[in-house]
Chains A and B, each alone.
Chain A
Protein backbone atom coordinates (compact mmCIF):
# COMPACT_ATOMS: atom_id res chain seq x y z
CA UNK A 1 0.00 0.00 0.00
CA UNK A 2 1.52 3.29 -1.01
CA UNK A 3 0.93 6.18 1.28
CA UNK A 4 0.52 9.56 -0.30
CA UNK A 5 3.29 11.78 0.90
CA UNK A 6 3.21 14.97 -1.07
CA UNK A 7 5.40 17.88 -0.15
CA UNK A 8 4.54 21.12 -1.91
CA UNK A 9 7.02 23.91 -1.33
CA UNK A 10 5.81 27.51 -0.96
CA UNK A 11 5.12 29.32 -4.19
CA UNK A 12 3.99 26.21 -6.01
CA UNK A 13 0.50 25.98 -7.46
CA UNK A 14 -1.08 22.55 -7.65
CA UNK A 15 -4.58 22.25 -9.04
CA UNK A 16 -7.05 20.18 -7.15
CA UNK A 17 -8.13 18.16 -10.16
CA UNK A 18 -4.61 16.80 -10.71
CA UNK A 19 -3.84 13.26 -9.62
CA UNK A 20 -0.81 12.92 -7.39
CA UNK A 21 -0.01 9.53 -5.97
CA UNK A 22 2.98 8.43 -3.94
CA UNK A 23 5.91 10.26 -2.49
CA UNK A 24 6.20 13.50 -4.43
CA UNK A 25 8.11 16.68 -3.73
CA UNK A 26 7.13 19.71 -5.78
CA UNK A 27 9.53 22.64 -5.86
CA UNK A 28 8.60 26.26 -5.38
CA UNK A 29 7.12 28.16 -8.29
CA UNK A 30 6.03 24.97 -10.03
CA UNK A 31 2.55 24.93 -11.53
CA UNK A 32 0.60 21.71 -11.92
CA UNK A 33 -2.48 22.13 -14.12
CA UNK A 34 -5.68 20.13 -13.71
CA UNK A 35 -5.81 16.59 -15.11
CA UNK A 36 -2.05 16.15 -14.70
CA UNK A 37 -1.07 12.74 -13.35
CA UNK A 38 2.03 12.22 -11.26
CA UNK A 39 2.43 8.65 -10.03
CA UNK A 40 5.40 7.71 -7.87
CA UNK A 41 5.05 3.95 -8.00
CA UNK A 42 8.63 2.72 -7.83
CA UNK A 43 10.04 5.44 -5.67
CA UNK A 44 9.81 9.11 -4.87
CA UNK A 45 9.57 11.85 -7.46
CA UNK A 46 11.32 15.15 -6.91
CA UNK A 47 10.26 18.01 -9.16
CA UNK A 48 12.43 21.12 -9.27
CA UNK A 49 11.50 24.78 -9.14
CA UNK A 50 9.48 26.76 -11.66
CA UNK A 51 8.35 23.78 -13.70
CA UNK A 52 5.18 23.93 -15.74
CA UNK A 53 3.16 20.73 -15.89
CA UNK A 54 0.18 21.20 -18.18
CA UNK A 55 -3.03 19.22 -18.57
CA UNK A 56 -3.10 15.47 -19.18
CA UNK A 57 0.63 15.14 -18.57
CA UNK A 58 1.63 11.80 -17.13
CA UNK A 59 4.81 11.65 -15.08
CA UNK A 60 5.08 8.05 -14.02
CA UNK A 61 7.88 6.50 -12.04
CA UNK A 62 7.83 2.78 -12.47
CA UNK A 63 10.57 0.16 -12.60
CA UNK A 64 11.40 -1.24 -16.02
CA UNK A 65 10.39 -4.83 -16.51
CA UNK A 66 13.84 -6.38 -16.61
CA UNK A 67 15.32 -4.59 -13.66
CA UNK A 68 14.62 -5.98 -10.26
CA UNK A 69 15.35 -3.98 -7.19
CA UNK A 70 18.69 -5.64 -6.54
CA UNK A 71 20.42 -2.84 -4.69
CA UNK A 72 17.77 -2.38 -2.03
CA UNK A 73 17.76 1.33 -2.75
CA UNK A 74 14.65 3.03 -4.04
CA UNK A 75 15.32 4.84 -7.31
CA UNK A 76 14.30 8.46 -7.32
CA UNK A 77 12.88 10.24 -10.36
CA UNK A 78 14.52 13.65 -10.40
CA UNK A 79 13.21 16.46 -12.54
CA UNK A 80 15.23 19.66 -12.66
CA UNK A 81 14.04 23.26 -12.70
CA UNK A 82 12.36 25.35 -15.36
CA UNK A 83 11.03 22.44 -17.38
CA UNK A 84 7.88 22.72 -19.42
CA UNK A 85 5.68 19.67 -19.90
CA UNK A 86 3.07 20.55 -22.50
CA UNK A 87 -0.35 19.00 -22.85
CA UNK A 88 -0.65 15.21 -22.92
CA UNK A 89 3.03 14.25 -22.82
CA UNK A 90 4.13 11.08 -21.06
CA UNK A 91 7.43 11.12 -19.23
CA UNK A 92 8.89 8.10 -17.52
CA UNK A 93 12.53 9.05 -17.67
CA UNK A 94 14.37 8.67 -14.37
CA UNK A 95 16.52 11.77 -14.63
CA UNK A 96 15.62 15.05 -16.26
CA UNK A 97 17.78 18.16 -16.19
CA UNK A 98 16.83 21.83 -16.31
CA UNK A 99 15.26 24.08 -18.93
CA UNK A 100 13.78 21.33 -21.09
CA UNK A 101 10.62 21.55 -23.12
CA UNK A 102 8.50 18.44 -23.65
CA UNK A 103 5.99 19.40 -26.33
CA UNK A 104 2.47 18.05 -26.70
CA UNK A 105 1.89 14.34 -26.91
CA UNK A 106 5.56 13.34 -26.76
CA UNK A 107 6.61 10.16 -25.02
CA UNK A 108 9.90 9.77 -23.19
CA UNK A 109 10.56 6.22 -22.08
CA UNK A 110 11.99 4.58 -19.06
CA UNK A 111 15.58 4.21 -20.12
CA UNK A 112 16.11 7.76 -21.38
CA UNK A 113 18.04 10.42 -19.51
CA UNK A 114 17.36 14.00 -20.49
CA UNK A 115 20.04 16.55 -19.75
CA UNK A 116 19.63 20.32 -19.89
CA UNK A 117 18.13 22.56 -22.52
CA UNK A 118 16.52 19.89 -24.70
CA UNK A 119 13.31 20.19 -26.66
CA UNK A 120 11.37 17.01 -27.36
CA UNK A 121 9.11 17.92 -30.27
CA UNK A 122 5.39 17.41 -30.45
CA UNK A 123 4.33 13.82 -30.96
CA UNK A 124 7.87 12.42 -30.78
CA UNK A 125 8.55 9.12 -29.11
CA UNK A 126 11.91 8.67 -27.39
CA UNK A 127 12.33 5.09 -26.21
CA UNK A 128 15.47 3.41 -24.82
Chain B
Protein backbone atom coordinates (compact mmCIF):
# COMPACT_ATOMS: atom_id res chain seq x y z
CA UNK B 1 0.00 0.00 0.00
CA UNK B 2 1.68 3.12 -1.25
CA UNK B 3 1.45 6.28 0.84
CA UNK B 4 0.25 9.50 -0.66
CA UNK B 5 2.68 12.32 -1.29
CA UNK B 6 2.74 14.75 1.60
CA UNK B 7 3.74 18.15 0.34
CA UNK B 8 5.21 20.85 2.44
CA UNK B 9 6.15 24.41 1.80
CA UNK B 10 9.83 24.45 1.01
CA UNK B 11 10.42 27.69 2.88
CA UNK B 12 8.88 26.29 6.04
CA UNK B 13 11.37 23.48 6.44
CA UNK B 14 15.08 23.34 6.99
CA UNK B 15 16.84 20.34 5.52
CA UNK B 16 20.15 19.44 7.10
CA UNK B 17 23.06 17.58 5.62
CA UNK B 18 22.08 14.32 7.23
CA UNK B 19 18.61 14.55 5.76
CA UNK B 20 16.71 15.83 8.77
CA UNK B 21 13.72 17.92 7.79
CA UNK B 22 12.80 20.28 10.59
CA UNK B 23 10.00 22.81 10.34
CA UNK B 24 10.81 26.38 11.25
CA UNK B 25 7.73 26.71 13.43
CA UNK B 26 8.85 24.15 15.96
CA UNK B 27 9.93 25.00 19.47
CA UNK B 28 13.30 23.33 19.88
CA UNK B 29 14.67 24.35 23.22
CA UNK B 30 18.27 23.58 23.98
CA UNK B 31 19.07 22.51 20.43
CA UNK B 32 22.65 21.64 21.37
CA UNK B 33 21.31 18.78 23.45
CA UNK B 34 19.01 17.45 20.74
CA UNK B 35 20.53 14.81 18.50
CA UNK B 36 18.54 13.86 15.41
CA UNK B 37 20.40 10.96 13.91
CA UNK B 38 19.42 11.34 10.27
CA UNK B 39 16.39 11.45 7.97
CA UNK B 40 14.17 12.62 10.81
CA UNK B 41 11.08 14.66 10.06
CA UNK B 42 9.95 17.16 12.69
CA UNK B 43 6.67 18.69 11.58
CA UNK B 44 5.26 22.07 12.47
CA UNK B 45 4.55 23.17 16.03
CA UNK B 46 6.33 20.19 17.53
CA UNK B 47 8.11 20.82 20.79
CA UNK B 48 11.36 19.13 21.77
CA UNK B 49 12.69 20.19 25.15
CA UNK B 50 16.40 19.67 24.91
CA UNK B 51 17.03 22.24 27.58
CA UNK B 52 15.78 19.95 30.35
CA UNK B 53 17.96 16.98 29.37
CA UNK B 54 19.48 15.32 26.31
CA UNK B 55 17.07 14.16 23.63
CA UNK B 56 18.38 11.62 21.16
CA UNK B 57 16.41 10.17 18.26
CA UNK B 58 17.44 7.47 15.86
CA UNK B 59 17.15 7.45 12.09
CA UNK B 60 13.91 7.77 10.15
CA UNK B 61 11.88 9.07 13.07
CA UNK B 62 8.76 11.07 12.40
CA UNK B 63 7.57 13.62 14.93
CA UNK B 64 4.14 14.78 13.81
CA UNK B 65 2.52 18.16 14.31
CA UNK B 66 2.23 19.52 17.83
CA UNK B 67 3.87 16.49 19.42
CA UNK B 68 5.81 17.13 22.60
CA UNK B 69 9.01 15.28 23.44
CA UNK B 70 9.78 16.07 27.01
CA UNK B 71 12.48 14.35 29.05
CA UNK B 72 11.06 12.77 32.22
CA UNK B 73 11.96 13.90 35.66
CA UNK B 74 12.32 12.11 38.94
CA UNK B 75 11.67 13.69 42.28
CA UNK B 76 14.38 13.20 44.82
CA UNK B 77 14.38 14.37 48.40
CA UNK B 78 16.80 17.08 47.35
CA UNK B 79 14.84 18.27 44.35
CA UNK B 80 14.15 17.20 40.81
CA UNK B 81 16.45 15.66 38.20
CA UNK B 82 15.69 15.33 34.49
CA UNK B 83 16.71 12.15 32.70
CA UNK B 84 17.69 11.93 29.04
CA UNK B 85 15.10 10.80 26.50
CA UNK B 86 16.35 8.25 24.00
CA UNK B 87 14.40 7.18 20.98
CA UNK B 88 15.34 4.40 18.64
CA UNK B 89 15.14 4.23 14.86
CA UNK B 90 11.97 4.19 12.80
CA UNK B 91 9.72 5.66 15.47
CA UNK B 92 6.52 7.43 14.54
CA UNK B 93 5.04 9.87 17.05
CA UNK B 94 1.49 10.89 16.19
CA UNK B 95 -0.01 14.36 16.29
CA UNK B 96 -0.44 16.12 19.63
CA UNK B 97 1.09 13.24 21.56
CA UNK B 98 2.97 13.96 24.73
CA UNK B 99 5.98 11.69 25.21
CA UNK B 100 7.49 11.78 28.69
CA UNK B 101 9.10 8.39 28.30
CA UNK B 102 12.63 7.67 29.36
CA UNK B 103 13.41 5.16 26.64
CA UNK B 104 11.56 4.56 23.41
CA UNK B 105 12.82 1.55 21.49
CA UNK B 106 13.10 1.05 17.75
CA UNK B 107 10.20 0.54 15.38
CA UNK B 108 7.63 2.02 17.79
CA UNK B 109 4.37 3.53 16.62
CA UNK B 110 2.81 6.10 18.94
CA UNK B 111 -0.66 7.19 17.88
CA UNK B 112 -2.33 10.58 17.97
CA UNK B 113 -3.17 12.41 21.16
CA UNK B 114 -1.43 9.93 23.43
CA UNK B 115 0.00 10.68 26.81
CA UNK B 116 3.06 8.55 27.50
CA UNK B 117 3.52 8.86 31.25
CA UNK B 118 6.63 9.87 33.10
CA UNK B 119 9.67 7.56 32.80
CA UNK B 120 7.84 4.93 30.77
CA UNK B 121 9.89 2.45 28.84
CA UNK B 122 8.61 1.47 25.41
CA UNK B 123 10.50 -1.54 24.14
CA UNK B 124 11.08 -2.27 20.45
CA UNK B 125 8.22 -2.96 18.08
CA UNK B 126 5.31 -1.86 20.20
CA UNK B 127 2.25 0.09 19.14
CA UNK B 128 0.51 2.66 21.31
CA UNK B 129 -2.97 3.27 19.94
CA UNK B 130 -4.50 6.72 19.48
CA UNK B 131 -5.74 8.52 22.58
CA UNK B 132 -3.97 6.19 25.00
CA UNK B 133 -2.93 7.43 28.40
CA UNK B 134 -0.04 5.38 29.76
CA UNK B 135 0.49 5.54 33.50
CA UNK B 136 3.88 6.69 34.73
CA UNK B 137 6.71 4.15 34.76
CA UNK B 138 4.89 1.61 32.59
CA UNK B 139 7.10 -0.82 30.74
CA UNK B 140 5.57 -1.73 27.40
CA UNK B 141 6.94 -5.09 26.25
CA UNK B 142 8.01 -5.75 22.67
CA UNK B 143 5.32 -6.67 20.13
CA UNK B 144 2.56 -5.44 22.42
CA UNK B 145 -0.31 -3.22 21.45
CA UNK B 146 -1.36 -0.87 24.20
CA UNK B 147 -4.48 1.22 24.26
CA UNK B 148 -7.16 2.85 26.35
CA UNK B 149 -6.99 5.07 29.35
CA UNK B 150 -5.38 3.81 31.56
CA UNK B 151 -3.26 2.12 28.91
CA UNK B 152 -3.31 -1.63 29.05
CA UNK B 153 -2.25 -4.50 26.90
CA UNK B 154 -4.98 -4.98 24.31
CA UNK B 155 -3.34 -7.09 21.70
CA UNK B 156 -0.24 -8.49 20.11
CA UNK B 157 1.67 -7.68 16.99
CA UNK B 158 3.07 -9.96 14.33
CA UNK B 159 6.79 -10.66 14.14
CA UNK B 160 6.99 -8.65 10.94
CA UNK B 161 6.15 -5.45 12.83
CA UNK B 162 9.75 -4.30 12.57
CA UNK B 163 9.66 -4.60 8.78
CA UNK B 164 6.28 -2.90 8.65
CA UNK B 165 7.59 0.08 10.60
CA UNK B 166 10.74 0.27 8.48
CA UNK B 167 8.59 0.30 5.34
CA UNK B 168 6.21 2.84 6.78
CA UNK B 169 8.82 5.32 7.97
CA UNK B 170 11.01 4.97 4.90
CA UNK B 171 8.14 5.55 2.50
CA UNK B 172 6.82 8.41 4.65
CA UNK B 173 10.20 10.07 4.35
CA UNK B 174 10.33 9.45 0.62
CA UNK B 175 6.88 10.88 0.05
CA UNK B 176 7.50 13.93 2.23
CA UNK B 177 8.30 16.21 -0.64
CA UNK B 178 8.33 19.99 -1.05
CA UNK B 179 5.50 21.34 -3.19
CA UNK B 180 6.77 21.66 -6.72
CA UNK B 181 5.87 24.87 -8.45
CA UNK B 182 4.88 24.07 -11.97
Contacts and interface: CB of A to CB of B under 8 A. Distances in A.
Interface of A: 17, 34-35, 54-56, 87-88, 103-105, 122-123
Nearest first, the 5 closest Cβ-Cβ pairs linking A and B are: A104-B115, A123-B133, A122-B133, A87-B98, A122-B115
A35 B70 CA distance: 13
Interface residues of B, number: 17
A55 B149 contact: no
B117 A88 contact: no
A40 B169 CA distance: 42
A17 B117 CA distance: 25
Given A34-B47, A104-B115, 17 more contacts: A35-B47, A55-B27, A55-B47, A55-B70, A56-B66, A87-B68, A87-B70, A87-B100, A88-B96, A88-B98, A104-B100, A105-B98, A105-B133, A122-B115, A122-B149, A123-B115, A123-B133
Contacts of B47: 34-35, 55-56
Contacts, number: 40
B49 interface: yes
A17 B98 CA distance: 18
Contacts of A123: 115, 131, 133, 149
Contact of B115 (A17, A34, A54, A105): A105
A86 B26 CA distance: 19
B49 A55 contact: yes
Contacts of B171: none
Contacts of A88: 68, 96, 98
B68 A56 contact: yes
B29 A105 contact: no
B33 interface: no
23 contacts: A17-B27, A34-B47, A35-B27, A35-B45, A54-B70, A55-B47, A55-B68, A55-B70, A56-B47, A56-B68, A87-B68, A87-B70, A87-B98, A87-B100, A88-B68, A104-B100, A104-B133, A105-B98, A105-B115, A105-B133, A122-B149, A123-B131, A123-B133
